[in-house]
Chains A and B, each alone.
Chain A
């Protein structure tokens, strides 16, 4: 799984420019699905066909990034954030455009770093004037962070875009492990624009009309120095979400996840995330409502160039998902009731 996470995280895919990631994932899962298609906004659906209930499992392809909003006469680029990006996190970092062009991000002269905001920040792609800059990059072009994947001694690793390529990797690995036939239908959605407000999952859920929803994403942790009081640690297993800003997970789905993990001796943690949302937030409010839950991979330094996960947590998330999807979900078409 390490190789898979390495290649996924090193791929270019800020919100709205998920094409490269989508093509890569489509190639990886094509022979494991009965139906593979994308919609007009760019969500990718990999369906393992079966009877109802229909379960939608969603991980988002997009990562945070920046967009070029103007180019000045000296060839410097002004930037706007794609998703929740702290400008401080970008200082001195390299960014990379789709065509491979890289640039450095720095700030105008400031009296105090506290003044730093997007209007004080610029990118330098090494061009001497507007004309040569415009030859290399256009207004509206997007860039992501440029850091490579690093494996650390033990089972932990660092990369940009762990949020949520780690989740994508979990979905892909799950698809590889699942038997040809499941007791019910499962649709793996690789969604777009989650970082801009769960937008892809919203339209995908409307289109697919699932009976249940599961999001696989990363979550924050409370095990770093002076961290907030959150009872989630790296390496202690994937988390089963109870609440975040976007959803109160459905008790039945949550219970099913807990039972599955317990029964199969898979380590897990319970997650209450105080800030942040995930695709399940959009799925559970689709149409008449979709009972939904989420499994997360604990991740340090989320939305930075160096997000850290423990590969064991990702592997255990796959275990939970495989066991969850190969068991039969109770369901009645007349009343998929509480």
Chain B
């Protein structure tokens, strides 16, 4: 799979709506891309997608299993009420910032997909005080251009709302912007990694997991980790990219490589091996110290059953949880390479060595 194909896959994935609890489109697309490179694909009873790629194992002993997990879901909203006039009230699914919403185009997933926009009061009619304040989520509404009767027929309380955004590659060819790059970038890494590993010797069994409902509390990862119970796990997600006015060192430069997380959530032997692998193959990586909750699927995997040694590899991303998220594609490609070489270098002795760590 060459870089153009990966970019096209990501453009396709970013465009589709897959809000937590309604991830079918993204999961189906991930399955379609992955199936070329894996021996088996299944859905567990939570709905997580698991794709199995066995390693070449001539030892006769059970192979080591490593899970690569990226969440398929994105933030969005849900209809809570249809107001007189046909306007829709909504509640966020995952962490939406109400300040980014006025004027945001959306898709309401009712009987069909209906376009809409989050209304914004015209500035002319606001008092000076009102202009200086944030409109809270409960005062916002969606306009789908229907009257109450029509809206009630087409849309129900509980229907999902997704942000609407067409992803684009930027002029320099390295950067992409769009919605839900958190974490379709991670899904793209899984796909590219599966493709890469089909041309690289690896002795361990690899399971690619597209997990559900990460944005509402790592829920898919909790059940997937319990169900699969792999020997090792690596979560692939995004982390905050640098931007003006952010504290130096706490955020990560776009284009300087994927980010290896370090801290209590991550097993030190895995962190070390990932960084050494990058060094050995001259691939750029950055390091993110995380003193407690990593806020990713890694947090759920680490404490499943009797414990699973877990690592976290992230792609720096600007403007997280908005419709204008931005990444540098080189970080994505380097993430795939680091993971590929890391997995290629793993064998069962690694597990025994790491126990001594």
Which residues of chain A have a CB within 8 Å of any CB of chain B?
A: 222, 228-231, 242-243, 248, 251, 254, 269-272, 274, 284-285, 287-291, 335-338
Contacts and interface: CB of A to CB of B under 8 A. Distances in A.
B54 interface: no
Given A248-B216, A272-B79, A289 B43 contact: no
Contact of A274 (B43, B91, B157): B91
B81 A289 contact: no
A291 B158 CA distance: 17
Interface of A is mostly: loop
Contacts, number: 82
A242 B81 contact: no
B44 interface: yes
A273 to B, nearest CB: 9
A222 B157 CA distance: 13
Contact of B93 (A243, A271, A291): A243
A222 B222 CA distance: 33
Given A270-B158, A272-B78, A336 B93 contact: no
Interface in B67-85: 78-83
Nearest to B216: A248
A271 B83 CA distance: 15
Interface string B20-63: 11100000000000000000001111111000000000000000
Nearest to B81: A231
A334 B91 CA distance: 36
Contacts of B348: none
A254 B216 CA distance: 19
B107 interface: no
Contacts of B81: 222, 229-231
B45 A338 contact: yes
A270 B80 CA distance: 9
A338 B138 CA distance: 32
Given A231-B81, A284-B46, 5 more contacts: A243-B21, A251-B21, A272-B157, A287-B226, A291-B46
Nearest to B91: A274
Nearest to A246: B217
B334 interface: no
A243 B45 contact: no
Interface of B is mostly: mixed
9 contacts: A229-B138, A248-B93, A248-B213, A288-B45, A288-B223, A289-B45, A335-B42, A336-B45, A337-B43
Given A248-B20, A289-B45, A231 B80 contact: yes
Nearest to A290: B45
Contacts of A222: 81
B89 interface: yes
Contacts of B22: 251
Contacts of A274: 80, 91
A256 to B, nearest CB: 15
A230 B158 CA distance: 11
A255 to B, nearest CB: 11
A63 B93 CA distance: 28
B46 A289 contact: yes
B113 to A, nearest CB: 17
Nearest to A241: B158
B79 to A, nearest CB: 7
Contacts of A271: 157-158
A335 B50 CA distance: 13
B305 to A, nearest CB: 10
A222 to B, nearest CB: 7
Interface in B242-258: none
B154 interface: no
Contacts of B80: 229-231, 272, 274
Interface string B218-248: 0110110011000000000000000000000
B287 interface: no
Nearest to A254: B158
Interface in B171-221: 213, 216, 219-220
A242 B78 contact: yes
A242 B20 CA distance: 12
A284 B138 CA distance: 28
A338 B21 CA distance: 11
Contacts of B222: 285
B21 A288 contact: no
Contacts of B157: 231, 242, 269-272
A230 B157 CA distance: 9
Contacts of A288: 44-46, 223, 226-227
A47 B197 CA distance: 49
Contacts of A287: 223, 226-227
